[in-house]
Structure 1
Amino acid sequence: MAVNCGIVGLPNVGKSTIFSALSSAPAEAANYPFCTINPNIGVAGVPDSRLDFLVRQFATKKRVPATAEFVDIAGLVKGASKGEGLGNQFLSHIREVSVIAHVVRCFEDADVVHVSGKVDPADDVETINMELAFADLDTVRKRAEKAERAARVMGRDEQKKSALMLQALGKVKPLLEEGIPARNAPLSGEEKAALADCCLITMKSLLFVCNTDEAGMKDGNQHIEAVRKIAAESGDEAVVISGKFEAELADIESPEERQAFLSEIGLGESSLSVLARAAYRLMGLRTFFTAGADECRAWTVRAGDTAPKAAGVIHTDFERGFIKAEVYSFGDLAALGSEAKIREAGKYRVEGKDYVVEDGDVMFFKFNV
C-alpha cells in the first residue's frame, strides 16, 4: 500500500479546492456533486522550519523539502456502502490510501450547493462515519465466513490463524454495527496484525479538516467547534483551513507577498502547512536531513527505520555498502549554533547498522561498494 493521504468527504465540501492548493496537480473543481470521479494524485512539499534553519546555517545553494502524497477522492453520499452515488468505486479508492483526511464543510454560502440541503457538520461527519463503518462491516462478515470455513477444513496452523482472525473480527463487528470505527476496538498487537490484510477503512488514522471561509478562520465559528468536539471525543486531530483562501495564496509566487497576504488575516503561516505536517506525521513518516553548502535536503523514512534504511533512501548503494553514519540532532545544532560546538560538547555521534533514526537527525553516511 502506498504511503499517502486520501482527502474524503461529502460532495461539494471543498476537497478538490484544498487538493489543488496543496499540490502542483490541479484538480477539477465545480459547484455540483461527483465532479471528481477518478482520484487525482498530487505531491505537496512539507513545510519545515528546521530545513529553513539549515539552509541559513550552511548558506546552501539548493533547498529540497520532504514531500507527502495526497489523493483527492470523489465525494461519498448516504448509501455509498450500498452502491449509491458510485459508492463502491469511491470506497475502493479509500481502501488504497494509508491515512484519511476528512474534509467537513464549516461555512455558509447559499451559492454553493450542499448535498443535504443544509450545513450541519455533525450530521455530515456521522454520514461519512456510518458509510465507512458499513462498508467495513460487509468486509468483516465475509472474512468471518472465510475464517470459519478454514477453521473446519485446514491444518492446525491455519486453524490457529483463523481463530485469531475470528477473535479480532468479533471485537470490531459490534462497533461497526454502531457506526464506530474499528480502530476504537481494544485489539492486541497480534489481533491488529491479523486484521491487516482485511484493509478495513476505519482502521486507518483519521484527520478532520474543517473547511471554512476567511471570516470563519476567527474564533467563534460554531461549525468548527462542533467538529473539534467530535475529534476530541474520538481521539482524532482537527485542523482548520480556508480552501478558497489557500487557493488564492497558492497563486502568489513571491514568498514576501504570500507572507504579507497571511499577515493581513493574522496568520503566521499557511493552514496548508499545518495540514501537510499533520498528515505526514499520521502516515508514520519521519524526517532526517543532509546538509552542506551545495544542498540541504529533508529525507523521508518510516518511524522505526534504521540507519542503513535511511541511507538507502538516498541511494541503494548507500544501504548495500553501509559502514556507519555520523549523526547529530537538529535540536543540538539549534541550541549550540555550529557543528564545531556540537563536536566540542560530545554530541556528534557515530552510529552503526542497528541505529534507529530519530526525527530531526542530521546524517552523513559512510559506505563502501
Structure 2
Amino acid sequence: MTDQPLKAAILGASGYTGAETVRLLRNHPNVTPVAATGNALAGKTLSDIFPHLRGKYDLDVIKAEDVDWGGIDVAFGCLPHGTSQDLIETLPAHVKVVDLSSDYRFRDAVAYSKAYGREHIAPKRTANAIYGLSEHAGDAMKGADLVACPGCYPTAILMVLLPLMNPMIIDRDAIIIDAKSGATGAGRGLKEGNLFSEVTEGLHAYGVGTHRHTPEIEQELNLRAGLNDIEVTFTPHLIPMARGEHVTCHLRGDVDAIHAALSAAYEGQPFVSVLPLGSPPPDTRHVRGTNDCRIAVYPDSAKGRVIVIAVIDNLVKGSSGQAIQNLNLMMGWDQALGLDALLPLFP
C-alpha cells in the first residue's frame, strides 16, 4: 500500500459505470474516492442515487466546477462521449485521467468525428492517448497521464483477435463477429428501447452495419497488423439481462494454431483464461461481477472455419474493472490490485 492513497474523482458518478467504479474501488488499498460529480443530480448523495452504496460511499454529488481539483490525483471519466472531453480538457495538468468514454479511443480525430458526429477539441491529445486494453498495452501505460479505456464490445473482441494479427494466422478478409450485451451496455439514461417491457422476452440487433465500435475495432486490428485495410463484419444485439457480454467470432484459419496463439498471449495473465480445446462453451454467468475474460476455441463443421467465443462482464472487464486495472498499470502497481478478490456471482 502507498503511504497516502490516491484521491480519486468520479466524473459522471450517477451512471452505471460511475457506480461500478466506486463499488470496485472499495476493495482498492491505494485509491480512495473523495469526489463524485453529476451536474443533473448535484445536491444528492451517491447513496441516494444508488442505495446499494449506502453506508459505504455516501459522497455528496457535486458539480465538476465545485471540485477542489488541487486535492485530486486521478479522475475516472464516466461521462458520455462529447461531454467527457469537454470536462477533461479543463482539468489541471497534475490530474491523471482514466477515461471510460469513447472520446480518446481514436488516434485520428477525423475518424472520431466521423463515428461520433462532432469535432474533437483536442486532436493532439487523442492522438497521443494510450488505448487501454490492459493486457495489450501494459508497459505503455506506466507513467501515462491519460488512458482511454476501450468500449465493452471492442474489449471482448480484441482480446480474441489481436493475438492473431501479427503474425497473421487468420484470413483477414473473413472476420465475422456476432455480439450480445446486457441492457447496461446502453447506459442509464431513460430510453424507450431500454424499458423493461421493450427489452424482456426478446432479443434484437442494433447498429447493424453502422455501429460506432466497428471503426474502433478496425483501428486496433490494423495497428497491430501494420495494415490499413482490415475490415470486420460486426453485429451487436441487446439481450434481456442486466450485465454480461458474449461475443462469437467466426474466423477462417487453423483451430490448433489459433488456440496456441491465444494461450501464449495470455499465459500468466490474471484475468484471462483460454479454455482447453473441447471445453464446454463459457457462459456470461461464469464471469458476472468480475474482471475476468474467458475464451474458448472450436472447430466449425464448415471446412477451414473456426469459432472463438469470449465472455466478459460489460460493466467490469468491459468498463470500470478495466479502468482500475489500467490505473494500476499507470502507477506501476500489480495490475490485479483491488480486483483479484472478485469471484463470479452465481447463479
Query: What TM-score does the superposition give when structure 2 sets the normalisation length?
Result: 0.31
Please identify the structure whose Cα radius of gyration is greater.
1
Q: Normalized per residue, which structure has more helix?
A: 1
State TM-score, norm by structure 1: 0.30
